[in-house]
Amino acid sequence: MRNDRMAKAYLEDGREKAEEARRLLSRGRHHMVVREAQEGVELLLKAALRYVGVEPAKVHDVSEVLLQEAGRFPQYFRNALEELAEISRLLARERGRSFYGDEDRGIPPSELYSEEDASEALEKLKFVLEMCERLIEGRSSKLFL
């Protein structure tokens, strides 16, 4: 069963995460950009799943369910599913480090990420946002233009 209200609410939260990530990048808070990007991607992909009638699990990486449910999505979205799944996997792996750093070596998260890392994470979030806006609202993002 589709849940358009939840999908649209998650989409809006994903947009907010993207705006916050952009602000944090301008302030040089690279680890926080990665964190916001991961959270945004998670929310956006869960919005897409809800929009096509899939209740996502309470996990940070939804790549497996995205690929399993490929047939529910329109062709343009299916064409991007491998990339969307890879983004989900990649950023989910960074979730803990971007929050807590490398506790074994005593390195705070602020010392683990460069501007390039943050910019890449933000670009991944931008791509996911654009795909999910097209799916749910039938339009492209204006946030990054």
DSSP string over 107-134: B-GGGT--HHHHHHHHHHHHHHHHHHHH
Please give the CATH number for the structural domain made up of 4-137.
Answer: 1.20.120.330
Supply 131's token pair.
């795909």
Question: What pTM was estimated for this model as a whole?
Answer: 0.93
Tens of pLDDT, residue by residue, the chain (145 residues): 677 999 999 999 999 999 999 999 999 999 999 999 999 999 999 999 999 999 988 999 999 999 999 999 999 999 999 999 999 999 999 999 999 999 999 999 999 999 999 999 999 999 999 999 999 999 654 544 3
Q: Following CA atoms 74, 76, 79, 84 in sequence, which dihedral angle do they give, to the nearest 10 degrees?
A: -90
Q: Say how many C-beta atoms besides its own lie within 10 A of residue 6's C-beta.
A: 15
